[in-house]
Amino acid sequence: MGETIAETLEGRTATPSPMVDEAADAPESRPTRLQRLRSPRRPRIWFEILLIAVSYWTYSLIRNAVPEQKAQALKNADWIWDLEHSLGMAFEHSVNHAVNSVTWLIVAMNYYYATLHFIVTIGVLVWLYRWHPGRYAAARLVLFATTGVALVGYYLYPLAPPRLMNGESFIDTVLVHETWGSMASGDLKNMSNQYAAMPSMHIGWSLWCGLIILALASAPWAKILGLLYPVATLVVIVATANHFWLDAVGGMVCLAFGFALSYAWYGALPHDLPKLPEPVPGPRKRLRTAVRA
């Protein structure tokens, strides 16, 4: 039996040892499981539909399971109202009555409040899934984290919306105009916690949509619409007496938490990630030369 031999540069002979791909063997060259989890992957449609459906169902269940605490919610509303007065920015009552005097406008706002909150958010998710799959997971995490932390606000700080305050003569525009579709008033109000107004997820979600569109859309008109959407939503939630403007501030704080969490996990904001997901290498196998006996 003979051994294969290799000639060195100096002309000497030596028995070759099995060759090892040292770069592949180095621990730092092999992505860990955590690194692979943090790398954006192409989303799978069936998983995303199931995840969003279950997540929203869970969110609604927890939100509506939070004790309503009517007395404390009304007390907190009085405190918010007094604070806004002290800041010289208690304009909700004037906006509510002014817009309510224009029937077609307030009816349109009622339907806006009841529907676009879901339609636009789902539309942006679908757009990200189709055209920006590498950024989808990070953007989705922002939305989920924003919504999740809002539940803490509903539990810790029950708040009545202006339309339910005592003695302030706010107009419940859904009741007055018998608008279909809102779960905030009318026959559907018992299906939703009426005292979960802080923070406003209408603002949290609409601002998420607006910022994503502003950062990723290529058409100038789309960027403008992205900017206008959360502004219009703020006008709507105030005009319909469903929120104080300070509730909107709470929604912004929740969104900032969502972006911070996504940045901590992915190491970048959604728009800074690649448009298409990059392949994540798995552990590389050691390469050895065959040694003949």
**What's the CA dihedral at 195, 197, 201, 203 to 10 degrees?**
160
Lowest mean pLDDT among 170-184, 202-216, 238-252: 170-184
Instruction: Provide the percentage of residues in the chain whose pLDDT is more than 70.
Output: 76
Q: pLDDT tens digits, residue range 83-141?
A: 999 999 999 999 999 999 999 999 999 999 999 999 999 999 999 999 999 999 999 99
For 265, half-sphere exposure in the C-beta direction (CA atoms, 13 angstrom radius) is 20
Q: Which of 191, 183, 108, 251 is nearest to 243 (CA)?
A: 251
| Cα distances (Å, whole numbers) of residue 92 to 102, 115, 117, 245, 246 | 16, 22, 20, 8, 11
pLDDT at 287 over 60: no
Task: Out of 8-12, 226-230, 289-293, give the one with best mean pLDDT.
Answer: 226-230
Which pLDDT band holds residue 8 (cuts at 50, 70, 90)? very low
CA distances (Å), origin 173, targets 102, 109, 161, 177: 11, 9, 13, 6
Q: What is the pLDDT of residue 1?
A: 47
The CB-side HSE value for 19 (13 A sphere, CA atoms) comes to 5
Angstrom CA distances, 102 to 173, 229, 259, stand at 11, 21, 38
Integer Cα distance of 85 and 63 in angstroms: 29
Judged by average pLDDT, the poorest of 11-15, 177-181, 279-283 is 11-15
H/E segment holding residue 227: helix 220-239
Which pLDDT score is estimated for 11? Answer: 46
| Residue 39: predicted pLDDT | 63
- The residue with tokens 């009517």 is 70
What number of other Cβ atoms are within 10 A of residue 36's Cβ? 13
What 26-32 contacts at long range (C-beta under 8 Å, 24+ apart), as own/partner pairs, is 29/284, 30/283, 30/284, 31/280, 31/281, 31/282, 31/283
The reported pLDDT for the residue numbered 202 is 97
Running DSSP on this structure, what letter comes out for residue 195? T
Tokens of residue 163, six digits: 């339309």
Q: What percent of the chain has pLDDT over 90?
A: 62
pLDDT above 80 for 16: no
Nearest to 277 by CA among 142, 140, 135: 135
The string of DSSP letters for 107-130 reads HHHHHHHHHHHHHHHHHHHHHHHH
**pLDDT attached to residue 6:** 42
Q: Quote the pLDDT of residue 31.
A: 59
Q: What is the pLDDT of residue 54?
A: 86
| Phi, psi for 178 (deg, rounded to 5) | 50, 50
pLDDT at 23: 46
Look at the alpha carbons of 88, 241, 124, 45 in this order and tell me if their dihedral is positive or negative: positive
CA 3/CA 1 separation, integer angstroms: 7
pLDDT of residue 43: 72
User: Predicted confidence band at 2 (pLDDT cuts at 50, 70, 90)?
Assistant: very low
**Mean predicted confidence (pLDDT) in 278-282:** 60
Which tokens belong to 17?
């040892």
**Residue 12 in this model has a pLDDT that exceeds 50:** no
Tens-digit pLDDT profile for residues 223-276: 999 999 999 999 999 999 999 999 999 999 999 999 999 999 999 999 999 998
Read off the pTM: 0.80
